[in-house]
């Protein structure tokens, strides 16, 4: 009886060792295959979203370019009063901002926060200069004052810095 148990153990122990070894080899292989598939899927997703992300950066750079003080002013042709011109400039800027809201899905949080800050800064500049002009003055007086402010304080206009930051981020995607 003791000998049969010993014979059984002689057969069972190697079988258990083979099963454990096979399990460890297979689990390691399957784990590496899963990791490889995950990497491939991630690369595929990045390749699919890269054009969308680059397009978002393009649109936001265009937004920033269109909303520099000189470009905002150059699109205004009406000769309304200062408050009306101020309202038109701010409304146009906000409208373009709202049109580009969905682009925040494709850019970093820092980039989007910068876009928001530039927009608010530009609105602040328009309002600050508009308040200092007489209400009954021609709207072109506001445009002239904005351009003078821009020429005298080019560093106070955050658009160019934001554009360079967006370009840098976009280059990082390539």
If one counts the domains in the chain, the total is: 1
In a domain, 53, yes or no: yes
Least confident of 63-67, 91-95, 134-138: 134-138
In a domain, 90, yes or no: yes
Q: Is residue 111 within 8 Å of 60, Cβ to Cβ?
A: yes
Residue 69's domain comprises: 49-173
In a domain, 144, yes or no: yes
Average pLDDT of span 108-130: 95
**What is the DSSP secondary structure assignment for residue 134, as one 8-state letter?**
-
What are the backbone angles phi and psi of residue 71, rounded to the nearest 5°? -70, -40
Q: Following CA atoms 50, 56, 57, 58 in sequence, which dihedral angle do they give, to the nearest 10 degrees?
A: 110
Rounded to two decimals, what is the model's pTM? 0.73
Share of the chain above pLDDT 90, in %: 58
CB atoms within 10 A of CB 117: 12
Q: Is residue 54 within 8 Å of 80, Cβ to Cβ?
A: no
């Amino acid at each position: 009886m003791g000998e049969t148990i010993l014979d059984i153990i002689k057969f069972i122990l190697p079988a258990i060792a083979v099963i454990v070894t096979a399990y460890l080899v297979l689990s390691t292989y399957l784990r590496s295959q899963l990791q490889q598939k995950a990497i491939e899927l991630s690369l595929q997703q990045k390749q699919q979203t890269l054009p969308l992300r680059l397009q978002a950066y393009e649109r936001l750079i265009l937004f920033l370019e269109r909303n520099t003080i000189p470009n905002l002013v150059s699109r205004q042709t009406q000769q309304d009063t200062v408050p009306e011109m101020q309202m038109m400039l701010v409304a146009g800027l906000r409208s373009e901002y709202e049109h580009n809201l969905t682009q925040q899905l494709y850019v970093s949080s820092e980039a989007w926060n910068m876009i928001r800050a530039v927009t608010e800064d530009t609105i602040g500049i328009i309002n600050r200069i508009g308040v200092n002009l007489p209400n009954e003055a021609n709207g072109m007086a506001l445009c002239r004052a904005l351009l003078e402010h821009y020429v005298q304080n080019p560093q106070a206009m955050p658009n160019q810095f934001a554009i360079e930051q967006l370009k840098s981020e976009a280059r990082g995607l390539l």
